[in-house]
Structures are given as structure tokens and as C-alpha cells.
Amino acid sequence: MTARSFALVDCNNFYVSCERVFDPVLEGRPVLVLSNNDGCIIARSDEVKALGIVMGTPLFEARPLIEEHGIEVYSSNYVLYGDMSGRVMSLLGGFTPNLEIYSIDEAFLDFSGFGSLDLTRHGLEIRDRVRRCTGIPVSIGIAPTKTLAKLANRIAKKSPGAGGVFELNPLEDRHGALSGTAVRDVWGIGRNYARMLNRNGIHSALDLHDAPGPWVRRRMGVAGARTWLELRGISCIETQTQTEDRKSAVVSRSFKRPLERLEELREAVAAFAERAAEKIRRQNLAAASVIVFIHTNRFASEDGRYKNATTVNLPMADNHTGRISKAALGGLEHIFRPGRRYKKAGVMLVGLEPEKTVQPDLFTSARDGRGEKLMKAFDGINRKFGAGKIRYAATGIGQTWRTAPMRRSPRYTTNWDELPGVW
């Protein structure tokens, strides 16, 4: 068996860093980025973290600190972040043939077999190159397993002296690193397992490493057992270099103002269905069923609370906006109850399969092709002239349930009208 080596490259405060690239005045200032609807804080600069504002804090709770410290507040700009992510990932791809894009701001690089190469130095070069070419600062953790690389990455972020790169290889290193990491911060250990582990006297990553394997397997299943092995340096979570077809696609939103009328809800659900269908068409997939769900305010008191979902099976796997929308609206009729204040709705497409393999069922004649041509034209126009340029009428003209983001940066990199100017 050959020794394995993985690097986890993670963009620092990614959304904030993207905003800073295009507005360098933000450098050194406290900056935060909000979720959809400007509801929660989902990205924070180091300055904001230092003020004790935690991930996911509702905006209204942070208001006093925001004003007191003059924090710069941005609505999220996913088009910009997605584009910046692509640039970072394509640079990383130049450093290894085995790149796993793990999320919008993280990637694993499989360095197994790089032999005697000084990996720390290699990491420093990667960091430097990404910084120079994109303006995004990254941290890099290097270790014999992905779980340990994650852990090393945390250490790299927290130790300013490390130059943003931390390699966790020699055995003696591992002891200190594991004992200094809370078990809650181990990749694969969430809130619930952390609580269970704490109850059983396991507080650090080292405690988990030292726990008996069969006990971990019994209490935490195969996923827990894998984490345990990985902490011990035995690699068992493979690099996934090829992205497989997704298995589901969801489009859902919370509403700033609760919706009560069926007509408004219908517009929202039609709009979600339209976007979900576009999403799967882009990947040449078709869905077997459509799930629609609605619920009232989950923070409200017990009475008046309502949530429901229903699944509508399609006659044959489909990705046509009209038919998916119709199915979703049909489902909505079933679960809608008048007199409730709905806070959120969504459409989920499941049972996805490549559109080429779709089998017509006994009662549905094969497609005539007209619907497909219409969809291609539809997608083509929206690609060329901007998303949402043409829409189905069912999605509503006014879309009063939508709210404009408070403060979104321009789409510098993807929209001709919003290119940064030079004066």
C-alpha cells in the first residue's frame, strides 16, 4: 500500500473575499454577507468574527453591533461567487490531475504518489498563485487522509505563523493537533454526535481517536467508523474527481412577508418549478417525480403552525417546464390550507435520470419533440439575454412575493453592464 497524501484548499471567508477583490477599500474593514432575503449572516470577515458574531446570526440581532462598528453589509451575489469559484478551481486543476471540487470554496487535491516533493512548499506555491491570479486568499491543510487534511486546514487558518499552509504528517505532530481540536470540529461530527460524544467523555479529536473502534461503529454507524479510521491515518474516503449526476434538485425560498392567498403561492411555486426544471435541463436530466412543500413560520408559536409536502409522480421522467409546473401546482392544491400565513415554499425534483434514457410508459406515446424544441429555445434566450428574461405566465408578472436584496454588489465578472470601471 502506498502512502496517501491529500491537500484541502479552502478559500478564506470566501464571499467576503470576493467582495473585497472588487472593492479593495474593504480590506481590513469588517465586512459581512447575508443569506437570501437578507435574513442571516452567512459570511464574515475576520474582523466580524472577532466581534463575536457567529455564523447564521439573524441580521436583526446583529444590528446594534453592525452600527456600532460600521460593519459593511452585503446581500449575497451568487453569480459573482460562482464565477470567482470557477477561476480558483481551474487554477487548482493545474496542480494535480486529481482535483475534487468539494464545494463552492473548497477543493481536495490528491497528492498521493508525489513522492519526495516538499508538499508544504508546494502548498505555499499554490496559495501564492491563487492569490496573485484571483485575489482570493486560501488556506491549505495537508495530511494522509481527507479528514486529517480538513483538520490541518483549520490549524493553518488559526496559526498566522504558518503562512496559510499546515502539513500534518509526522506522527508526533498528530498528537498535538488532535488534542487541540474539539471533537465538534472534526469533519463528519455534527451537533448531535458531538453532544453524544461529550456525554461519553469524548471532547477532543484525540479522545475520539483513542476511543474503541467497535464502540464508535455501534454508536455512529459506518460513517462514524470511517471518521475514526481516518483520524488514525487510514485513508478510506476516496477523492471523487468526477462529478456524478445529481440525484435531486431543489428550489425553495422563504418569503420576507408571509403569503396567505393561494394565488400568490401559486406564482411562487410556478417560479420555483420553472427554475428547478431549468436546473435539470442544463444537466440533461429528467425527473420522475415532483415534490412540493409549504410551511408557516417555524419560529412562531405552536398554534397556527402548519407544514406539508406531497409527491406527484409524473407519467414519465420529464424536464419540461410546463408539465413540471402543472404537477407542482396540482400538488399545491392538495396541501394548501386557507387561513395560514405561509413563510416558505419549495419544489423538489427527484428520481433524476439522464434524459436520453427516459422510457415512455405504456400509456404515454413517445414525445413528439415539440415541447423539447420549445424548451431549448427558452433556455437559449435566457442564456443569451440574462436569466429570467422570458418566463412562464404562471410565475406572475408582479411577483409581489419577491423582495429586492438590500445591497448587492454588481455582477462584475459576468455582466457587461456591470464591469468595473477604471477612471
Q: Which residues bind DNA (CB under 7 A)?
A: 35-37, 39-40, 42, 55-56, 58-60, 102-106, 150, 186-194, 221-223, 246-254, 256, 258, 279, 297, 299, 343-344, 346
Q: How far apart are CA 73 and CA 34, in angstroms?
A: 7
Minimum separation from the CB atom of position 49 to DNA (A): 16
Minimum separation from the CB atom of position 368 to DNA (A): 29
Minimum separation from the CB atom of position 101 to DNA (A): 11
Secondary structure class of 211 (helix, strand, coil): coil
Smaller CB separation from DNA, 64 or 97? 64
Smaller CB separation from DNA, 218 or 383? 218
Minimum separation from the CB atom of position 246 to DNA (A): 4
Minimum separation from the CB atom of position 416 to DNA (A): 26
Smaller CB separation from DNA, 10 or 72? 10
First to last CA, the chain: 59
Number of Cβ within 10 Å of residue 315's Cβ equals 12
Smaller CB separation from DNA, 59 or 89? 59
Q: Angle at Cα 251 formed by Cα 37 and Cα 300, nearest 5°?
A: 50
Minimum separation from the CB atom of position 42 to DNA (A): 5
- The DSSP string of 142-180 is EESSHHHHHHHHHHHHH-GGGTTEEE--SHHHHHHHHHT
Smaller CB separation from DNA, 116 or 243? 243
Residue 124 in contact with residue 9, Cβ under 8 Å? no
Backbone angles phi, psi at 75, to 5 degrees: -75, 155
Smaller CB separation from DNA, 84 or 186? 186
Q: How far apart are CA 141 and CA 132, in angstroms?
A: 20
Can you tell me which residue has the cell 428520481?
351
Q: How far apart are CA 8 and CA 390, in angstroms?
A: 41
